Amino acid sequence: LQFLRAYFSSHSPQSVHPHLKSLNPLIFKAIKEKNAKIAADALRVGCALVPILRSEGFDAKPFLKDFFTPTLEKLKTADTEVDVKETSITCMALLISHFATEFKSELPSVIDILNERVNNEITAAAALRAFETLSSMKNRVELGNSLPNVVKTVSHGLSIT
């Protein structure tokens, strides 16, 4: 998994595309893994995979549902290690920020989960970075009523320091 992440990050998307049909099912299966170390590493690979799927001229549609589903499952899981929680937040933010139009119906529930994570002391920083990612993309993601909660959390954090 670490090799794949390094490979995806250091090679052109066009050099990776021919291998995705065989690699993606393995990556998505690893995201579902109960072992936290494996799941977190697979989610990091997923983070490196998003720009490859998004590259010009590549049809990512056949892979998106199989990528989104296990990532959402990990995002929803409350009783898992911090590393998995944080990487699932990051991976989902990247996935949604690049493919929001593909997940319009699921977007409100994802935003609700991210809102919950902002209110959690352990996952707040990752969730705030996720909202930053979502709000800074060209194709703006509708964040619903999240802004007051995010501002409140940031304000609270600033008042502590």
- DSSP-assigned states of every residue in 54-87: HSTT---HHHHHHHHHHHHHHHH--SS-HHHHHH
The answer to whether 46 and 91 have CB atoms below 8 angstroms apart is yes
Render pLDDT for 124-159 as a digit per residue (tens, 0 to 9). Answer: 889 889 988 888 776 666 666 655 555 556 555 545
**Which among 87, 54, 58 has a CA at the least distance from the CA of 71?**
87
Q: What share of the chain is helix, strand, coil (3-state, %, to 5)?
A: 80, 0, 20
Cα separation, 15 vs 83, in Å, equals 30
Render pLDDT for 45-70 as a digit per residue (tens, 0 to 9). Answer: 999 999 999 999 999 999 999 999 99
Residue 6 confidence (pLDDT) above 90:
yes
